[in-house]
Structure 1
Amino acid sequence: MRVTIRVRPGASRTAVGGTYGDALVVAVQERAVDGAATTAALDAVAAALGIRKREVTLLTGTTSRTKTVEVPDAAASRLAELMREAH
Structure 2
Amino acid sequence: MTLLTVRVKPNARVQRATRLDDGSWLLHLKAPPQDGKANRELIALLAQELGVTKAQVKIKSGQSGRTKRVEIDD
Q: Same fold (TM over 0.5)?
A: yes
Q: Which has the higher helix share?
A: 1
Gaps of 5+ in 1: 74-87
Give the distance between the partners of 2:27 and 2:73, measured in 1 at CA. 18
**Code of the aligned partner of 2:48:** A
How high is the sequence identity, in percent, across the aligned residues? 27
- The number of equivalent residue pairs is 73
Gaps of 5+ in 2: none
**Code of the aligned partner of 2:54:** K
Give the distance between the partners of 1:20 and 1:65, measured in 2 at CA. 19
Aligned-residue CA RMSD in angstroms?
1.7
**Code of the aligned partner of 1:41:** L
Aligned to 1:3, the other structure's residue is in SS state strand
Give the distance between the partners of 1:11 and 1:19, measured in 2 at CA. 18
TM-score, scaled relative to structure 1: 0.75
Partner in structure 1 of residue 66 of structure 2: 65
| Aligned pairs (5 A) from 1:1-87 | 1-19=2-20, 23-73=24-74
Q: Which has the higher strand share?
A: 2
**Code of the aligned partner of 1:11:** A
